[in-house]
Structure 1
Protein backbone atom coordinates (compact mmCIF):
# COMPACT_ATOMS: atom_id res chain seq x y z
CA UNK A 1 0.00 0.00 0.00
CA UNK A 2 1.44 3.40 -1.00
CA UNK A 3 1.98 5.71 2.01
CA UNK A 4 0.06 8.95 2.19
CA UNK A 5 2.40 11.76 1.16
CA UNK A 6 2.64 15.17 2.79
CA UNK A 7 1.27 16.84 -0.36
CA UNK A 8 -1.74 14.53 -0.41
CA UNK A 9 -2.36 15.28 3.25
CA UNK A 10 -2.14 18.99 2.52
CA UNK A 11 -4.64 18.66 -0.30
CA UNK A 12 -7.06 16.69 1.85
CA UNK A 13 -6.78 19.24 4.64
CA UNK A 14 -7.39 22.12 2.27
CA UNK A 15 -10.42 20.43 0.74
CA UNK A 16 -11.75 19.62 4.18
CA UNK A 17 -11.31 23.19 5.36
CA UNK A 18 -13.01 24.50 2.25
CA UNK A 19 -15.95 22.16 2.65
CA UNK A 20 -16.37 23.04 6.32
CA UNK A 21 -16.22 26.75 5.50
CA UNK A 22 -18.85 26.35 2.79
CA UNK A 23 -21.16 24.34 5.02
CA UNK A 24 -20.70 26.63 8.00
CA UNK A 25 -21.78 29.76 6.13
CA UNK A 26 -25.58 29.18 6.22
CA UNK A 27 -25.39 28.00 9.83
CA UNK A 28 -23.53 31.11 10.99
CA UNK A 29 -25.95 33.33 9.12
CA UNK A 30 -28.91 31.99 11.11
CA UNK A 31 -27.29 31.78 14.53
CA UNK A 32 -29.71 34.13 16.33
CA UNK A 33 -33.38 34.65 17.03
CA UNK A 34 -34.31 37.22 14.38
CA UNK A 35 -37.29 39.48 13.69
CA UNK A 36 -38.59 40.75 10.34
CA UNK A 37 -39.23 43.30 9.02
CA UNK A 38 -36.19 45.22 10.25
CA UNK A 39 -37.98 48.52 9.63
CA UNK A 40 -41.59 49.66 9.97
CA UNK A 41 -43.54 52.92 9.88
CA UNK A 42 -44.82 54.66 13.00
CA UNK A 43 -48.57 55.08 13.56
CA UNK A 44 -49.26 51.75 11.87
CA UNK A 45 -50.00 48.10 12.57
CA UNK A 46 -47.06 45.84 11.78
CA UNK A 47 -46.83 42.04 11.78
CA UNK A 48 -43.50 40.98 13.26
CA UNK A 49 -42.17 37.50 12.51
CA UNK A 50 -39.77 35.97 15.03
CA UNK A 51 -37.74 33.00 13.81
CA UNK A 52 -35.04 30.63 15.04
CA UNK A 53 -33.28 27.65 13.53
CA UNK A 54 -31.40 26.29 16.53
CA UNK A 55 -31.83 25.15 20.11
CA UNK A 56 -29.81 25.85 23.28
CA UNK A 57 -26.45 24.17 22.78
CA UNK A 58 -28.23 21.57 20.60
CA UNK A 59 -31.04 21.01 23.13
CA UNK A 60 -34.59 21.15 21.63
CA UNK A 61 -36.55 24.38 22.10
CA UNK A 62 -39.68 24.30 24.26
CA UNK A 63 -40.78 27.96 24.32
CA UNK A 64 -40.09 31.56 23.33
CA UNK A 65 -40.95 34.49 25.63
CA UNK A 66 -40.99 37.86 23.85
CA UNK A 67 -40.70 41.07 25.86
CA UNK A 68 -42.79 43.88 24.35
CA UNK A 69 -41.33 47.42 24.54
CA UNK A 70 -43.23 49.58 27.03
CA UNK A 71 -44.15 52.09 24.31
CA UNK A 72 -46.32 49.49 22.56
CA UNK A 73 -49.85 49.21 23.98
CA UNK A 74 -51.54 47.11 21.28
CA UNK A 75 -50.35 43.51 20.81
CA UNK A 76 -52.13 40.68 18.97
CA UNK A 77 -50.32 37.32 18.78
CA UNK A 78 -51.12 35.07 15.81
CA UNK A 79 -52.54 31.64 16.58
CA UNK A 80 -50.16 28.83 15.64
CA UNK A 81 -51.01 25.15 15.36
CA UNK A 82 -49.05 22.99 17.78
CA UNK A 83 -48.34 25.88 20.15
CA UNK A 84 -50.05 27.35 23.20
CA UNK A 85 -49.97 31.14 23.46
CA UNK A 86 -50.08 33.24 26.61
CA UNK A 87 -50.36 37.02 26.92
CA UNK A 88 -48.77 38.34 30.13
CA UNK A 89 -50.70 41.45 31.17
CA UNK A 90 -49.15 44.44 32.92
CA UNK A 91 -51.11 47.19 34.68
CA UNK A 92 -50.09 50.72 33.66
CA UNK A 93 -49.12 53.24 36.32
CA UNK A 94 -51.59 55.65 34.74
CA UNK A 95 -54.03 55.47 31.80
CA UNK A 96 -52.56 56.00 28.35
CA UNK A 97 -54.00 56.66 24.90
CA UNK A 98 -54.33 53.50 22.84
CA UNK A 99 -54.19 52.88 19.09
CA UNK A 100 -57.71 54.18 18.44
CA UNK A 101 -57.60 57.09 20.84
CA UNK A 102 -59.19 55.14 23.69
CA UNK A 103 -57.79 55.17 27.22
CA UNK A 104 -56.11 51.92 28.24
CA UNK A 105 -55.08 50.87 31.74
CA UNK A 106 -53.14 47.71 30.92
CA UNK A 107 -50.96 46.29 28.16
CA UNK A 108 -49.43 43.02 26.99
CA UNK A 109 -45.92 43.04 28.44
CA UNK A 110 -44.92 39.58 27.20
CA UNK A 111 -46.07 36.97 24.70
CA UNK A 112 -45.17 33.35 25.44
CA UNK A 113 -45.23 30.70 22.71
CA UNK A 114 -44.90 27.16 24.08
CA UNK A 115 -44.46 24.20 21.70
CA UNK A 116 -46.57 21.08 22.24
CA UNK A 117 -43.59 19.11 20.95
CA UNK A 118 -40.06 20.53 21.45
CA UNK A 119 -38.37 21.74 18.26
CA UNK A 120 -35.19 19.75 17.52
CA UNK A 121 -31.97 21.70 17.14
CA UNK A 122 -31.28 22.54 13.52
CA UNK A 123 -34.94 22.94 12.52
CA UNK A 124 -36.37 26.39 11.82
CA UNK A 125 -39.70 27.61 13.15
CA UNK A 126 -41.34 31.02 13.42
CA UNK A 127 -44.33 32.84 14.89
CA UNK A 128 -45.97 36.21 14.32
CA UNK A 129 -47.14 39.03 16.57
CA UNK A 130 -49.05 42.08 15.35
CA UNK A 131 -48.24 45.36 17.11
CA UNK A 132 -49.30 48.97 16.75
CA UNK A 133 -46.30 51.30 16.62
CA UNK A 134 -47.27 54.68 18.11
CA UNK A 135 -46.24 57.85 16.31
CA UNK A 136 -44.02 59.00 19.18
CA UNK A 137 -41.52 56.17 18.58
CA UNK A 138 -40.69 57.36 15.05
CA UNK A 139 -36.93 57.38 14.58
CA UNK A 140 -36.31 54.96 17.46
CA UNK A 141 -34.81 51.49 17.54
CA UNK A 142 -37.08 49.12 19.48
CA UNK A 143 -35.74 45.90 20.95
CA UNK A 144 -37.84 42.78 21.56
CA UNK A 145 -35.77 40.60 23.92
CA UNK A 146 -36.55 36.89 23.57
CA UNK A 147 -35.97 34.20 26.18
CA UNK A 148 -35.50 30.87 24.40
CA UNK A 149 -36.20 27.98 26.78
CA UNK A 150 -35.09 24.45 25.93
CA UNK A 151 -35.34 20.92 27.30
CA UNK A 152 -31.96 21.60 28.87
CA UNK A 153 -30.98 25.20 29.54
CA UNK A 154 -32.07 28.48 28.02
CA UNK A 155 -30.65 31.40 26.03
CA UNK A 156 -31.64 35.01 26.68
CA UNK A 157 -31.46 37.06 23.49
CA UNK A 158 -31.49 40.44 25.24
CA UNK A 159 -28.21 42.21 24.56
CA UNK A 160 -27.86 45.59 22.80
CA UNK A 161 -25.10 46.50 20.32
CA UNK A 162 -21.93 47.96 21.81
CA UNK A 163 -21.04 51.66 21.68
CA UNK A 164 -19.05 50.92 18.52
CA UNK A 165 -21.99 49.16 16.93
CA UNK A 166 -20.48 45.70 17.37
CA UNK A 167 -22.99 42.86 17.64
CA UNK A 168 -23.09 41.18 21.07
CA UNK A 169 -23.06 37.44 21.63
CA UNK A 170 -26.82 37.26 22.27
CA UNK A 171 -28.39 40.21 20.40
CA UNK A 172 -31.99 41.16 21.08
CA UNK A 173 -34.23 41.13 17.98
CA UNK A 174 -34.89 44.77 17.04
CA UNK A 175 -36.60 46.99 14.48
CA UNK A 176 -36.11 50.61 13.43
CA UNK A 177 -39.29 52.70 13.38
CA UNK A 178 -39.58 55.18 10.52
CA UNK A 179 -41.82 58.20 10.10
CA UNK A 180 -45.59 57.76 9.89
CA UNK A 181 -47.11 57.31 6.43
CA UNK A 182 -48.05 60.60 4.78
CA UNK A 183 -51.66 59.50 4.21
CA UNK A 184 -52.15 59.20 7.96
CA UNK A 185 -53.76 55.76 7.77
CA UNK A 186 -52.59 53.25 10.36
CA UNK A 187 -54.42 50.18 9.04
CA UNK A 188 -56.40 48.75 6.20
CA UNK A 189 -60.01 47.55 6.10
CA UNK A 190 -59.17 44.31 7.87
CA UNK A 191 -57.54 46.02 10.86
CA UNK A 192 -53.92 45.89 9.83
CA UNK A 193 -51.61 47.79 7.54
CA UNK A 194 -51.37 46.20 4.09
CA UNK A 195 -48.34 48.35 3.28
CA UNK A 196 -46.64 47.08 6.42
CA UNK A 197 -47.21 43.49 5.29
CA UNK A 198 -45.79 44.35 1.87
CA UNK A 199 -42.78 45.97 3.54
CA UNK A 200 -42.44 42.89 5.74
CA UNK A 201 -42.41 40.56 2.74
CA UNK A 202 -39.93 42.79 0.91
CA UNK A 203 -37.68 43.06 3.95
CA UNK A 204 -37.81 39.31 4.54
CA UNK A 205 -36.96 38.60 0.90
CA UNK A 206 -34.09 41.11 1.02
CA UNK A 207 -32.81 39.59 4.25
CA UNK A 208 -32.96 36.07 2.82
CA UNK A 209 -31.22 37.27 -0.34
CA UNK A 210 -28.45 38.92 1.67
CA UNK A 211 -27.94 35.76 3.71
CA UNK A 212 -27.90 33.67 0.55
CA UNK A 213 -25.32 35.93 -1.09
CA UNK A 214 -23.13 35.81 2.02
CA UNK A 215 -23.42 32.04 2.18
CA UNK A 216 -22.53 31.70 -1.50
CA UNK A 217 -19.52 34.04 -1.20
CA UNK A 218 -18.15 32.19 1.82
CA UNK A 219 -18.91 28.86 0.18
CA UNK A 220 -17.04 29.84 -2.99
CA UNK A 221 -14.12 31.02 -0.87
CA UNK A 222 -14.09 27.65 0.86
CA UNK A 223 -14.08 25.77 -2.42
CA UNK A 224 -11.30 28.05 -3.67
CA UNK A 225 -9.20 27.02 -0.67
CA UNK A 226 -9.72 23.39 -1.64
CA UNK A 227 -8.73 24.02 -5.26
CA UNK A 228 -5.53 25.78 -4.17
CA UNK A 229 -4.69 22.77 -2.00
CA UNK A 230 -5.09 20.41 -4.95
CA UNK A 231 -2.89 22.61 -7.16
CA UNK A 232 -0.16 22.67 -4.50
CA UNK A 233 -0.35 18.89 -4.13
CA UNK A 234 -0.05 18.30 -7.89
CA UNK A 235 2.85 20.73 -8.13
CA UNK A 236 4.65 18.93 -5.30
CA UNK A 237 4.21 15.55 -6.98
CA UNK A 238 5.52 16.85 -10.31
CA UNK A 239 8.53 18.30 -8.50
CA UNK A 240 9.40 14.93 -6.98
CA UNK A 241 9.06 13.15 -10.34
CA UNK A 242 11.37 15.68 -11.94
Structure 2
Protein backbone atom coordinates (compact mmCIF):
# COMPACT_ATOMS: atom_id res chain seq x y z
CA UNK A 1 0.00 0.00 0.00
CA UNK A 2 1.37 3.39 -0.96
CA UNK A 3 1.75 6.36 1.36
CA UNK A 4 -1.12 8.14 -0.39
CA UNK A 5 -3.47 5.15 0.02
CA UNK A 6 -2.65 4.78 3.74
CA UNK A 7 -3.27 8.51 4.31
CA UNK A 8 -6.66 8.32 2.55
CA UNK A 9 -7.70 5.27 4.61
CA UNK A 10 -6.70 7.02 7.83
CA UNK A 11 -8.74 10.08 6.94
CA UNK A 12 -11.76 7.87 6.14
CA UNK A 13 -11.44 6.02 9.47
CA UNK A 14 -11.11 9.31 11.33
CA UNK A 15 -14.22 10.71 9.62
CA UNK A 16 -16.27 7.61 10.48
CA UNK A 17 -15.11 7.83 14.11
CA UNK A 18 -16.01 11.52 14.29
CA UNK A 19 -19.42 10.83 12.72
CA UNK A 20 -20.08 8.02 15.22
CA UNK A 21 -19.15 10.28 18.14
CA UNK A 22 -21.43 13.03 16.81
CA UNK A 23 -24.31 10.58 16.33
CA UNK A 24 -23.79 9.19 19.83
CA UNK A 25 -23.79 12.71 21.24
CA UNK A 26 -27.05 13.53 19.48
CA UNK A 27 -28.66 10.31 20.79
CA UNK A 28 -27.54 11.13 24.34
CA UNK A 29 -28.97 14.63 24.02
CA UNK A 30 -32.27 13.22 22.72
CA UNK A 31 -32.38 10.76 25.62
CA UNK A 32 -31.86 13.58 28.10
CA UNK A 33 -34.54 15.70 26.44
CA UNK A 34 -37.05 12.83 26.28
CA UNK A 35 -36.36 11.89 29.89
CA UNK A 36 -36.73 15.49 31.04
CA UNK A 37 -39.94 15.87 29.04
CA UNK A 38 -41.40 12.73 30.61
CA UNK A 39 -40.56 13.93 34.10
CA UNK A 40 -42.06 17.36 33.39
CA UNK A 41 -45.22 15.76 31.98
CA UNK A 42 -45.53 13.42 34.95
CA UNK A 43 -45.00 16.31 37.35
CA UNK A 44 -47.60 18.43 35.59
CA UNK A 45 -50.16 15.63 35.75
CA UNK A 46 -49.46 15.06 39.43
CA UNK A 47 -49.91 18.76 40.16
CA UNK A 48 -53.13 18.86 38.13
CA UNK A 49 -54.56 15.98 40.12
CA UNK A 50 -53.35 17.40 43.40
CA UNK A 51 -54.96 20.80 42.73
CA UNK A 52 -58.56 19.57 43.14
CA UNK A 53 -57.56 17.80 46.36
CA UNK A 54 -56.13 21.05 47.74
CA UNK A 55 -59.11 23.03 46.55
CA UNK A 56 -61.50 20.65 48.25
CA UNK A 57 -59.80 21.03 51.63
CA UNK A 58 -62.72 23.03 53.05
CA UNK A 59 -65.54 22.44 55.51
CA UNK A 60 -68.40 21.55 53.17
CA UNK A 61 -72.17 21.12 53.52
CA UNK A 62 -74.44 18.65 51.70
CA UNK A 63 -78.24 18.63 52.15
CA UNK A 64 -80.44 15.54 51.75
CA UNK A 65 -83.06 17.75 50.08
CA UNK A 66 -83.02 21.43 49.14
CA UNK A 67 -86.71 22.25 48.51
CA UNK A 68 -87.98 25.37 50.28
CA UNK A 69 -90.04 24.49 53.36
CA UNK A 70 -88.74 20.91 53.45
CA UNK A 71 -87.15 19.16 56.39
CA UNK A 72 -83.60 18.25 55.45
CA UNK A 73 -80.42 16.84 56.96
CA UNK A 74 -77.36 19.00 56.34
CA UNK A 75 -74.09 17.09 56.70
CA UNK A 76 -70.88 19.04 57.35
CA UNK A 77 -67.61 17.35 56.36
CA UNK A 78 -64.00 18.12 57.24
CA UNK A 79 -60.77 16.22 56.63
CA UNK A 80 -58.03 18.56 57.78
CA UNK A 81 -56.86 20.51 60.79
CA UNK A 82 -55.61 24.09 61.16
CA UNK A 83 -52.32 24.04 59.26
CA UNK A 84 -51.75 20.50 60.50
CA UNK A 85 -53.03 20.98 64.05
CA UNK A 86 -55.77 18.49 65.18
CA UNK A 87 -59.37 19.75 65.29
CA UNK A 88 -60.95 20.09 68.73
CA UNK A 89 -64.25 21.83 67.96
CA UNK A 90 -66.74 23.08 65.37
CA UNK A 91 -69.19 25.94 65.88
CA UNK A 92 -71.87 26.03 63.17
CA UNK A 93 -73.82 29.29 62.87
CA UNK A 94 -77.47 28.85 61.86
CA UNK A 95 -78.77 31.39 59.31
CA UNK A 96 -81.81 33.56 60.03
CA UNK A 97 -85.10 31.99 59.08
CA UNK A 98 -84.19 28.61 60.54
CA UNK A 99 -85.56 28.35 64.04
CA UNK A 100 -85.48 24.71 65.09
CA UNK A 101 -82.43 22.45 64.71
CA UNK A 102 -81.93 18.83 65.79
CA UNK A 103 -78.25 17.80 65.81
CA UNK A 104 -77.46 14.18 64.92
CA UNK A 105 -75.50 12.49 67.70
CA UNK A 106 -71.93 11.59 66.73
CA UNK A 107 -70.14 9.39 69.31
CA UNK A 108 -66.86 11.23 68.66
CA UNK A 109 -68.26 14.61 69.65
CA UNK A 110 -70.16 16.33 72.44
CA UNK A 111 -72.86 18.66 71.12
CA UNK A 112 -74.61 21.74 72.54
CA UNK A 113 -77.32 23.96 71.02
CA UNK A 114 -77.31 27.67 71.84
CA UNK A 115 -80.47 29.77 71.51
CA UNK A 116 -81.30 33.46 71.22
CA UNK A 117 -84.59 35.32 71.68
CA UNK A 118 -86.67 36.04 68.60
CA UNK A 119 -87.50 39.66 67.88
CA UNK A 120 -91.15 38.60 67.77
CA UNK A 121 -92.74 35.32 68.92
CA UNK A 122 -93.93 32.97 66.19
CA UNK A 123 -96.37 30.07 66.16
CA UNK A 124 -95.09 26.66 65.12
CA UNK A 125 -96.97 24.00 63.14
CA UNK A 126 -98.46 22.59 66.35
CA UNK A 127 -99.90 25.95 67.36
CA UNK A 128 -97.35 26.52 70.13
CA UNK A 129 -95.75 29.92 70.68
CA UNK A 130 -92.01 30.01 69.96
CA UNK A 131 -89.91 32.79 71.49
CA UNK A 132 -86.37 31.51 70.83
CA UNK A 133 -84.40 30.08 67.94
CA UNK A 134 -81.18 28.06 67.68
CA UNK A 135 -78.35 30.48 66.90
CA UNK A 136 -75.49 28.00 66.68
CA UNK A 137 -74.53 24.41 67.35
CA UNK A 138 -71.20 23.60 69.02
CA UNK A 139 -69.48 20.24 68.55
CA UNK A 140 -66.53 19.48 70.85
CA UNK A 141 -64.29 16.54 69.97
CA UNK A 142 -63.91 13.91 72.70
CA UNK A 143 -60.56 13.09 71.09
CA UNK A 144 -58.96 15.68 68.77
CA UNK A 145 -59.44 14.81 65.10
CA UNK A 146 -55.97 14.49 63.57
CA UNK A 147 -55.12 16.34 60.38
CA UNK A 148 -55.80 14.17 57.34
CA UNK A 149 -58.62 12.20 58.99
CA UNK A 150 -62.22 12.80 57.95
CA UNK A 151 -65.40 13.08 60.01
CA UNK A 152 -68.91 14.46 59.57
CA UNK A 153 -71.57 16.08 61.76
CA UNK A 154 -75.22 16.47 60.74
CA UNK A 155 -78.11 18.78 61.57
CA UNK A 156 -81.79 18.18 60.86
CA UNK A 157 -83.69 21.39 60.19
CA UNK A 158 -86.49 22.92 58.15
CA UNK A 159 -85.51 25.17 55.27
CA UNK A 160 -87.40 28.50 55.19
CA UNK A 161 -90.54 28.37 53.06
CA UNK A 162 -89.74 31.73 51.44
CA UNK A 163 -86.08 30.96 50.62
CA UNK A 164 -86.50 29.40 47.15
CA UNK A 165 -83.70 30.60 44.88
CA UNK A 166 -81.54 31.75 47.80
CA UNK A 167 -78.23 30.36 49.00
CA UNK A 168 -78.05 29.91 52.78
CA UNK A 169 -74.60 30.21 54.37
CA UNK A 170 -73.66 28.24 57.49
CA UNK A 171 -70.42 29.85 58.75
CA UNK A 172 -68.23 27.40 60.66
CA UNK A 173 -65.51 28.17 63.20
CA UNK A 174 -63.01 25.31 63.27
CA UNK A 175 -61.05 25.27 66.54
CA UNK A 176 -57.80 23.32 66.77
CA UNK A 177 -55.19 22.49 69.40
CA UNK A 178 -53.14 25.29 67.88
CA UNK A 179 -55.07 28.11 66.25
CA UNK A 180 -58.46 28.18 64.54
CA UNK A 181 -59.96 28.75 61.09
CA UNK A 182 -63.16 30.71 60.38
CA UNK A 183 -64.92 29.34 57.31
CA UNK A 184 -67.17 32.36 56.91
CA UNK A 185 -66.35 34.16 53.66
CA UNK A 186 -69.31 34.60 51.27
CA UNK A 187 -69.15 33.06 47.81
CA UNK A 188 -70.27 35.54 45.14
CA UNK A 189 -71.62 34.19 41.85
CA UNK A 190 -69.32 35.01 38.95
CA UNK A 191 -66.29 35.62 41.18
CA UNK A 192 -63.46 33.34 42.26
CA UNK A 193 -64.11 31.22 45.32
CA UNK A 194 -62.76 32.90 48.48
CA UNK A 195 -59.93 31.34 50.43
CA UNK A 196 -62.15 30.41 53.40
CA UNK A 197 -65.67 29.93 51.99
CA UNK A 198 -68.63 29.38 54.31
CA UNK A 199 -70.49 26.09 53.71
CA UNK A 200 -73.71 26.77 51.79
CA UNK A 201 -77.01 25.17 50.82
CA UNK A 202 -78.73 26.40 47.64
CA UNK A 203 -82.51 26.31 48.24
CA UNK A 204 -84.70 25.20 45.34
CA UNK A 205 -88.41 25.68 44.63
CA UNK A 206 -90.86 24.10 47.05
CA UNK A 207 -92.28 20.71 46.13
CA UNK A 208 -95.92 19.78 46.54
CA UNK A 209 -96.56 18.27 49.96
CA UNK A 210 -93.35 19.61 51.51
CA UNK A 211 -93.32 21.27 54.92
CA UNK A 212 -94.64 20.47 58.39
CA UNK A 213 -98.44 20.75 58.36
CA UNK A 214 -99.56 18.54 61.18
CA UNK A 215 -98.46 15.90 63.66
CA UNK A 216 -98.93 12.98 61.29
CA UNK A 217 -97.05 14.49 58.36
CA UNK A 218 -94.38 15.81 60.73
CA UNK A 219 -93.72 12.33 62.14
CA UNK A 220 -93.37 10.82 58.67
CA UNK A 221 -91.10 13.66 57.60
CA UNK A 222 -88.78 13.17 60.57
CA UNK A 223 -88.52 9.42 59.94
CA UNK A 224 -87.63 10.03 56.31
CA UNK A 225 -84.97 12.57 57.24
CA UNK A 226 -83.37 10.28 59.84
CA UNK A 227 -83.04 7.60 57.16
CA UNK A 228 -81.58 10.18 54.78
CA UNK A 229 -79.06 11.25 57.41
CA UNK A 230 -77.72 7.72 57.84
CA UNK A 231 -77.51 7.23 54.08
CA UNK A 232 -75.83 10.58 53.50
CA UNK A 233 -73.17 10.05 56.18
CA UNK A 234 -72.38 6.53 54.96
CA UNK A 235 -72.15 7.41 51.27
CA UNK A 236 -70.12 10.57 51.92
CA UNK A 237 -67.57 8.63 54.00
CA UNK A 238 -67.21 5.93 51.34
CA UNK A 239 -66.91 8.49 48.56
CA UNK A 240 -64.21 10.40 50.42
CA UNK A 241 -62.04 7.28 50.90
CA UNK A 242 -62.53 6.09 47.32
CA UNK A 243 -61.68 9.55 45.97
CA UNK A 244 -58.31 9.62 47.76
CA UNK A 245 -57.40 6.09 46.59
CA UNK A 246 -58.41 6.89 43.00
CA UNK A 247 -56.22 9.99 42.93
CA UNK A 248 -53.18 8.13 44.30
CA UNK A 249 -53.58 5.28 41.78
CA UNK A 250 -54.18 7.76 38.96
CA UNK A 251 -50.99 9.72 39.68
CA UNK A 252 -48.95 6.50 39.96
CA UNK A 253 -50.29 5.11 36.71
CA UNK A 254 -49.66 8.32 34.76
CA UNK A 255 -46.09 8.63 36.05
CA UNK A 256 -45.31 5.01 35.09
CA UNK A 257 -46.91 5.57 31.68
CA UNK A 258 -44.87 8.72 31.03
CA UNK A 259 -41.61 6.93 31.90
CA UNK A 260 -42.59 4.02 29.63
CA UNK A 261 -43.18 6.39 26.71
CA UNK A 262 -39.78 8.00 27.31
CA UNK A 263 -38.00 4.62 27.24
CA UNK A 264 -39.85 3.54 24.07
CA UNK A 265 -38.98 6.76 22.24
CA UNK A 266 -35.36 6.50 23.31
CA UNK A 267 -35.13 2.90 22.04
CA UNK A 268 -36.62 3.83 18.66
CA UNK A 269 -34.29 6.76 18.16
CA UNK A 270 -31.19 4.81 19.21
CA UNK A 271 -31.68 2.35 16.32
CA UNK A 272 -29.60 -0.80 15.67
CA UNK A 273 -25.86 -0.71 16.42
CA UNK A 274 -23.58 -0.28 13.44
CA UNK A 275 -21.59 -3.43 12.65
CA UNK A 276 -17.85 -3.23 13.31
TM-score (norm 2): 0.70
- Choose which of 161, 178, 187 in structure 2 pairs with 1:161: 187
RMSD: 3.9
Q: Displacement, 1:209? A: 6.7
Query: Which region of structure 1 is more displaced relative to structure 2, 114-123 or 213-222?
Result: 213-222
Q: With CA pairs under 8 Å and 6+ residues apart, which has the higher RCO, 1 or 2?
A: 1
Query: 2:119: which partner in 1?
Result: 93
Q: Displacement, 1:52? A: 0.5
1:45 and 1:193 in contact (8 A); partners too:
no
Query: 2:18: which partner in 1?
Result: none
* Higher share in strand: 1
Give me the whole-angstrom Cα distance separating, in 2, the residues matched to 1:81 and 1:207.
16
1:77 and 1:129 in contact (8 A); partners too:
yes
* SS state at 2:132 partner: strand
2:165 and 2:203 in contact (8 A); partners too:
yes
2:169 and 2:198 in contact (8 A); partners too:
yes
Q: Displacement, 1:213? A: 8.0
* Higher share in helix: 2
Q: CA 1:219 to 1:18, structure 2 compared with 1: closer, same or farther past 3 Å? A: farther
Query: 2:171: which partner in 1?
Result: 145
Query: Aligned ranges for residues 46-195 of structure 1 at < 5 Å?
Result: 46-186=72-212, 187-190=217-220, 192=222, 194=224
Structure 2, unaligned runs of 5 or more: 1-30
Give me the whole-angstrom Cα distance separating, in 1, the residues matched to 2:48 and 2:252.
5
Q: CA 1:97 to 1:166, structure 2 compared with 1: closer, same or farther past 3 Å? A: farther
Q: Displacement, 1:47? A: 1.2
Give me the whole-angstrom Cα distance separating, in 2, the residues matched to 1:198 and 1:38.
6
Give me the whole-angstrom Cα distance separating, in 2, the residues matched to 1:229 and 1:201.
42
Query: Which region of structure 1 is more displaced relative to structure 2, 174-183 or 17-26?
Result: 17-26
2:174 and 2:181 in contact (8 A); partners too:
yes
TM-score (norm 1): 0.78
* SS state at 2:222 partner: coil
- Choose which of 53, 56, 61 in structure 2 pairs with 1:35: 61
Query: Which region of structure 1 is more displaced relative to structure 2, 6-15 or 78-87?
Result: 6-15
Structure 1, unaligned runs of 5 or more: none
1:75 and 1:108 in contact (8 A); partners too:
yes
Give me the whole-angstrom Cα distance separating, in 2, the residues matched to 1:45 and 1:66.
18
2:65 and 2:73 in contact (8 A); partners too:
no
Q: CA 1:139 to 1:33, structure 2 compared with 1: closer, same or farther past 3 Å? A: same
1:145 and 1:172 in contact (8 A); partners too:
yes
2:73 and 2:229 in contact (8 A); partners too:
no
Q: Displacement, 1:225? A: 5.9
Give me the whole-angstrom Cα distance separating, in 2, the residues matched to 1:51 and 1:164.
25
Query: Which region of structure 1 is more displaced relative to structure 2, 218-227 or 52-61?
Result: 218-227
Q: Displacement, 1:165? A: 4.0
Q: Displacement, 1:233? A: 4.6
1:46 and 1:197 in contact (8 A); partners too:
no
